[in-house]
Copies of this chain bind each other. A is one copy, B any other.
Amino acid sequence: MGSTERIRNVAKRVAKWARAGHQMVVVPSAMSGETNRLLGLAKDLAPSRASSAYHRELDMLAATGEQASSALLAIALQAEGMESVSYAGWQVPIRTDSAYTKARIESIDDQRVRSDLAAGKVVIVTGFQGIDEHGHITTLGRGGSDTSAVAVAAAMKASECLIYTDVDGVYTTDPRVVPEARRLHTVSFEEMLEMASLGSKVLQIRSVEFAGKYKVPLRVLSSFTPWDIDIEEEARSGTLITFEEDEKMEQAVVSGIAFNRDEAKISVLGVPDKPGIAYQILGAVADANIEVDVIIQNLSKDGKTDFSFTVNRNDFARTVDLLKEKVVPALGAQEVVGDAKICKVSIVGIGMRSHVGVAARMFRVLSEEGINIQMISTSEIKTSVVIDEKYVELAVRTLHKAFELDQPAAAAA
């Protein structure tokens, strides 16, 4: 939420839903820029601390942002003539573990909220925060407000959890790359998970996982839609993330094209092919807290093999150094080569499960454009390829067209 003007608009929108007969629980984020302002003050005072005591205080500090915006929203709703009350996470309570700055929700007590709803109030619950078993305030970290909203919706057994974001839904691909990209009316939970993990920044993957675990129907819609649009229209807007497969009668084979430019490829060449090499290479990487995505081990030839994987670009140089210093000598491998100018492109679709040849079609389309595939990784509902970064727009556009994602009939629910 931004200025008081935006808070007022949120209040009008919530009041509209409540007046239409819905019991409403609202989970606001902090006002725009507030969390960064607060954490900036902390950083100014203690530039580089990492103790648990420090993280505890960061959570005390950051939690005030959502408490303030929640109280302001309750006030704005009261000014709209709605009865409303706000609760901090500890008041609900939303119980979490004690991992300050990245806590996980353990349980939510729905009694207090339920009794206020029954009394006709709109209930505001602070996002992003909870309380641990010792009574300390915790925050959930990045994307915490979305996760809180989903968790509260799960606890309340809500009929739908509406997530108002700065985009108006989930698209077949990034509209900045493919202007013909279409908004999906529905997308399955599994597809959303794959898209979220592939850099489609609509929702934090954590909130999607949470929704999946508790089967909370999630609707992603735009906070920029005027508050006074017809409620039926708003209820159909955005993208619904569903868990009911049979809802999608006309299943598209591929629902979207995702891509991720944040990765880098690293290959360890000439590794003696013996048991345990994957563990020796990736174990060292994992010990350094570096996350690995795509992993490929080539066929062995003359007792040697090549081993490739991708990491986040921020970890690229560190990973290469680590391998050169420790792993290559220990393994007796030949050398380490890396390439930060790559991109991962994926086709995602729950329909791929029952349609053969989808991956083959992807590879054919890319080869017809002269795009060399460097790595391949597949799952039940996704096929990813790693290609030269300079081909990313071409690959995404071509695949979007080849799988007819620009055609309304194909992707509509």
Contact = CB atoms under 8 A, between A and B. Distances in A.
Interface residues of A, number: 42
Contact of A85 (B8, B56, B65): B56
Contacts of A46: 75-76, 78-79
19 contacts: A4-B45, A7-B45, A38-B68, A41-B72, A46-B75, A46-B79, A49-B75, A51-B78, A53-B83, A56-B85, A57-B72, A57-B74, A57-B86, A60-B86, A61-B67, A64-B64, A64-B67, A64-B71, A88-B137
Given A8-B45, A41-B4, A64-B64, A58 B71 contact: yes
A125 to B, nearest CB: 12
A84 B53 contact: yes
A44 interface: yes
A63 interface: yes
A171 interface: no
Contacts of A83: 53
A78 B90 contact: no
Nearest to A38: B68
A54 interface: yes
A8 B74 CA distance: 34
Given A4-B41, A7-B45, A60 B71 contact: yes
Interface centre among A63, A65, A68, A135 (most CB of B within 10 A): A68
A52 to B, nearest CB: 11
